[in-house]
Amino acid sequence: MIKKCLFPAAGYGTRFLPATKAMPKEMLPIVNKPLIQYGVEEALQAGLKQIAVVTGRNKRAIEDHFDINYEMEHQINGTDKEQYLTGVRSLISQCTFSYTRQIQMKGLGHAILTGRTLIGDEAFAVVLADDLCINTEGDGVLEQMIKLYKQFRCSIVAIQEVPLEDTAKYGVISGEMIRDDVYRVHSMVEKPKPEDAPSNLAIIGRYILTPDIFDLIEQTEPGKGGEIQITDALMKQAQDGCVIAYKFKGQRFDCGSVEGYIDATNFCYENLYKQGE
């Protein structure tokens, strides 16, 4: 079964400058927890304990976060402040973390290909940490997707309906509905203008990928924005009928935008933090 979860985390986070000038965008806090910690919690909840991170320059804080800080932890040892570390300590004790660096920013497809050395020849999940996904009603989004993978055994993308005027922010799919929340993907386009979009079903930052994706990415020419797009590589799998799109249950916040970040903060404060999670 799937054991590994890949976090592409080399991007600059320019939409959050100056906050991200010296700090990785994945470390921006939602209330009191960095974004990437929510992603790792979601992965662990889905049973994925091998965390693989594609990093870049200026990303060391991510590695330090999933490690011991001897001096500070010694300082608060035995005080009631220690409780604030319970969550992250639990992740550190249950997961392994491995890292590789993306030297040049050549797109999400290229970032995922960079992670090949950590993944090897097995199916894996991908989480884009700035898409924060919360399901207060039940299984997390990755866990929902893992269940679907057991049934279909092919690549899966999470989707949600977006207003048509927003299609240029996303990969967009079209396909045949095979269940009220599941589509077999026929085509997918990266960031189409509304008039070119095949639907308003947008891909959000959760994927399950079968390992043949790596060779397909290698064969993928630069697409939108001159970057190697995962959407284009997935399109090749879709042509063989091997991509499923899943309308997940839960809320998704685009924490790469200031508005989404504020919404996520308010939501998590009310629904998680105040409830003591």
**Residues forming the site for ligand G1P (CB under 6 A):** 108, 128, 131, 170-171, 190, 202-205, 229, 231
The dihedral built from the CA positions of residue 270, 32, 258 and 53, taken in this order, carries a sign that is: negative
Alpha carbons 200 and 194: distance in angstroms, whole number: 8
Nearer to ligand G1P among residue 139 and residue 166 (C-beta)? 166
Closest distance of CB 18 from ligand G1P, Å: 21
Closest distance of CB 214 from ligand G1P, Å: 17
Closest distance of CB 169 from ligand G1P, Å: 7
Which residue's Cβ lies closest to ligand G1P? 171
Closest distance of CB 190 from ligand G1P, Å: 5
Nearer to ligand G1P among residue 55 and residue 231 (C-beta)? 231
Closest distance of CB 171 from ligand G1P, Å: 3
Closest distance of CB 82 from ligand G1P, Å: 35
Contact criterion met (CB below 8 Å) for 141 and 180: no
Cβ atoms within 10 Å, residue 52:
24
List b or e across 149-169, with b for residues whose CB sees 16 or more CB atoms inside 10 angstroms: beebebbbbbbbebeeeebee
Nearer to ligand G1P among residue 46 and residue 108 (C-beta)? 108
Nearer to ligand G1P among residue 128 and residue 146 (C-beta)? 128
Nearer to ligand G1P among residue 13 and residue 34 (C-beta)? 13
The closest of 154, 130, 131, 158 to 143, measured between CA atoms, is 158
Write the burial class of residue 2 (CB in 10 Å: 0-12 exposed, 13-18 middle, 19+ buried): buried
Nearer to ligand G1P among residue 202 and residue 208 (C-beta)? 202
Closest distance of CB 224 from ligand G1P, Å: 8
Task: Report which residue type is found at 71.
Answer: E
Nearer to ligand G1P among residue 160 and residue 265 (C-beta)? 160
Centroid of chain to Cα 116 = 16
